[in-house]
Amino acid sequence: MTAYEADFYFFLLKECNMRNWLSPFELPTRLIYAELGYSNKTISDLRNRLKQKGLIDFIEGNRREKAASYIILVSERNQNGNQLGNQNGNQSSNQNGNPLNTKHKQKQKEDNNSNELFPLDVTQKPKRREKKEFIPPTIEEVKSVFMEKLPDWEIQAETFFYHYDSLGWKTVTGAKVQRWDSMANKWIIEKLQTNGNKRQTDNDTCSDTIIRSTPG
């Protein structure tokens, strides 16, 4: 059986099942075209092949009056069993207010993650992220961060490096340094602010001196 034959055959099984295994059942060719995208010639060839294989039988329809009818060739015992099973199941389910569906829904609510395609294991604890081991920087690495960011960046880089190196790369409170580059940037910002405030103070002092020295 080719892939097209199998696709067409299972499509007929689905349509027959939807009709509670009514045999024969009418099925317009336009519906097959809309579902499978096969042309009329392809549909005609496929159903002839399935008929030759003894899987189906069909009755040609009239385009204007009646659609083609299909028969799924199964044993009489299986056919009767399927019809009775579907009819009894539908009747008892409708009469009793779909108790089977209600029980099934309740069971799904009780089961944790029962509707998930990939259910989560609630007993599994999330993995903790492993902390990376701190590796002290070299003085060259520190200088690359300080480079051209301060007027005396080389001196500040060396001061920063030897300050924390003497502390074993710990803060004043004794906490281990995790991100030395962040601390270096903080050091640079503080120095820039200090230098900016110092320049402002010097300018104010100079202006005050000029004003005082000017004759009133």
Establish if 172 belongs to a structural domain.
yes
Question: Domain of 25: which CATH number?
Answer: 1.10.10
Higher pLDDT, 112 or 43: 43
Q: What is the mean pLDDT of residues 33-61?
A: 90
* Full domain range(s) for residue 86: 3-93
Give yes or no: residues 88 and 8 share one domain. yes
- Amino acid letter, residue 194: T
- The predicted-structure confidence for 86-96, as pLDDT tens digits, reads as follows 566 556 555 55
pTM over 0.75: no
- The predicted-structure confidence for 106-147, as pLDDT tens digits, reads as follows 555 555 555 555 555 556 666 777 767 888 999 999 999 999
State how many domains the chain has. Answer: 2
Establish if 108 belongs to a structural domain.
no
- The predicted-structure confidence for 176-193, as pLDDT tens digits, reads as follows 888 999 999 999 999 999
Mean of per-residue pLDDT scores for the chain: 79
DSSP string, 95-129: HTTSHHHHHHHHHHHHSTTTT-SS---TTSPPPPP
Q: 198 φ, ψ to 5°?
A: -65, -40
Establish if 100 belongs to a structural domain.
no
Establish if 112 belongs to a structural domain.
no
C-alpha torsion 49→53→59→61, nearest 10: -20
> Confidence band (pLDDT; 50, 70, 90) for 210?
low
